Amino acid sequence: MNKMLELEGISKTFFPGTPNAHKALDQLSLTLEPGDFVTVIGSNGAGKSTLFNVISGMFLPDEGRIRLDGRDITFEKEHKRAAVIGRIFQDTTKGTAPGMTIEENLALAYLRSTGKRSLMGITAADRKLFREKLAQLDLGLEDRLTAKVGLLSGGQRQAVALLMSTLVTPKLLLLDEHTAALDPATAEKVLDITRRIVREQKITCMMITHNISSALTLGNKTIMMDSGRIVLDLQGKERQEMTVPRLLELFKEKVSKDFDNDRTLLGQD
């Protein structure tokens, strides 16, 4: 069976050859099995979002290889990867078209995922599917198909974005702190929806989070980054028995500095 994601020696430097040169990823390697749910934590500037940008094709790596389900996608265009890689951002205004209705956004997501050029109108069958999927969110959106997405709350928009990214099951789902901009109650609701969709569709998933406690309980694997490298890779019994204080100790042992707590939550939201 193919590994779902293989990163081999990925490096990325911004502004190379200048005084502002910054090595965002440094010979990073990572392997994900099908169905893995990996939480990603790290200090500010550790390279977490750059990692997602390289995987999704927003940036090309300077060196290294990326394989998705056995296929080399290292230099594949971002729009081609979008058919098999879903991504949701922290900013609730990204990922959806605010001037379009919920059903139009879902139709666009369907087009992107299937690779079709155009959709000959939204059919009754489409609306039935959209309604069923929206009803599963338990947010009452199934009765608001013609509502403009820009009128929805942040939590509702993230839920719609999540649905758009998984309408056709992606090979990989990237969640870039997708609940960080939401209030605690809404964040927990969106997280619950995320857990259920990922579990039911058996999606391989990576989630950046600033909540270390949640990172150790969500999914089946946690990686901790610093200076563009993975310094800790926790899974199995070691992860189950890991505590936040012990994790911070391990981090200090590995990189000889304290974890940067800016924006980081050590306990639950």
CATH of the domain at 175: 3.40.50.300
Residue with tokens 């974890």: 259
Domain that holds residue 73: 5-97+170-260
Where residue 269 falls among pLDDT bands split at 50, 70, 90? Answer: very low
Q: In the predicted model, what is the mean pLDDT of residues 21-29?
A: 96
User: Does pLDDT of 166 surpass 70?
Assistant: yes
Instruction: Give me the numbers of helices (H) and strands (E) for the chain, helices first please.
Output: 9, 10
Mean pLDDT of the chain: 90
Number of domain units in the chain: 1
Q: Which strands form 37-42's sheet, in the order they lie side by side?
A: 85-88, 172-176, 204-208, 37-42, 221-226, 229-235
Q: What is the mean pLDDT of residues 138-144?
A: 91
Does residue 230 lie in a domain region? yes
- Reported as a single tens digit per residue, the pLDDT across 212-252 is 988 999 999 999 999 999 999 999 999 999 999 999 999 98
**DSSP assignment of 93-110, as one string?**
TSSS-TTSBHHHHHHHHH
pTM for this predicted structure: 0.91
Give a yes or no: residue 156 inside a domain.
Answer: no
Within a domain: 147: no
pLDDT mean over 54-62: 96
Q: Is residue 255 part of a domain?
A: yes
- Any domain includes 134: no
List, for residues 88-131, the tens digit of each pLDDT value: 999 888 889 999 999 999 998 887 766 555 556 788 888 999 99
Q: Three-class SS of residue 149?
A: helix
Helices in the chain by DSSP H: which ranges?
A: 48-56, 78-81, 102-114, 124-135, 154-166, 184-201, 212-215, 236-240, 244-255
Residue 204 lies in a domain: yes
Residue 211 lies in a domain: yes
In a domain, 143, yes or no: no
Cα separation, 25 vs 164, in Å, equals: 29
pLDDT at 265 over 70: no
